[in-house]
Amino acid sequence: AVYFTFPYDEAVTSEALREFLEGQHDFKYATLVHCDTPSGMLNPVEELSRLLHEYNIMTVVDSVSAMFGEPLCVDEGMIDEIKRLLENGGSAEDLIYYGLEYKFVTEYVIGKLSYEEMLRQLEIAIHQFAKRQMTWFRGMERRGIKIEWIDGTQPMDQRVEAILASI
CB neighbours of 123 closer than 8 A, spacing ≥ 6?
Answer: none
- Running DSSP on this structure, what letter comes out for residue 28? S
- pLDDT tens figures, 49-76: 889 889 988 777 776 555 545 555 555 6
pLDDT digits (tens, 9 = 90+) for 90-120: 899 998 888 888 899 999 999 999 988 988 8
Q: How many CB atoms lie within 10 A of CB 153?
A: 9
For the chain, how are helix, strand and coil distributed in percent, rounded to 5?
A: 55, 10, 40
**Range scoring the smallest mean pLDDT among 38-47, 140-149, 157-166:** 38-47
Query: Mapping DSSP to helix (H, G, I), strand (E, B) and coil, where does residue 33 land?
Result: strand
Model confidence pTM above 0.85: no
With b for 16 or more beta-carbon neighbours within 10 A and e for fewer, the 81-111 pattern comes to: bbbebbeeebebeebbebbbbbbbbbbbbee
Asked if residue 9 has pLDDT above 90, the reply is no
In this structure, what DSSP letter does residue 64 have? G
Number of C-alpha atoms within 13 angstroms, CB side, residue 111? 0
